[in-house]
Structure 1
């Protein structure tokens, strides 16, 4: 018997906008641009609050 998870997708699965902001933050950090990395985190949190109903 194969175990299949029939529950809703886990919260670790991000939408495309979340993924793009996460990637942009990683790129900024790799370039040592902490200001831009912070901007990406803020934008991702705002997006998550607006689109996913998460608390900021």
Structure 2
């Protein structure tokens, strides 16, 4: 249950970052978004929703 609780803020952050227009994003911003998505994936995998 703790994994899902920690994953929720990551999911919200990813959603907000992906809503930004592509022209506004810098290379660093895109890399940070990829890292957040990978971290979210690692947190979601061991849960029932991730299977």
Aligned length in residues? 40
Flag structure 2 segments of 5+ consecutive residues without an equivalent: none
Q: TM-score, normalised by structure 2?
A: 0.53
Identify the range of structure 1 (35-44 vs 23-32) with the bigger mean alpha-carbon deviation: 23-32
RMSD in angstroms over aligned alpha carbons? 2.2
Greater helix proportion: 2
Flag structure 1 segments of 5+ consecutive residues without an equivalent: 1-14
Which structure is richer in relative contact order (CA contacts within 8 A, separation 6 or more)?
2
Larger Rg: 1
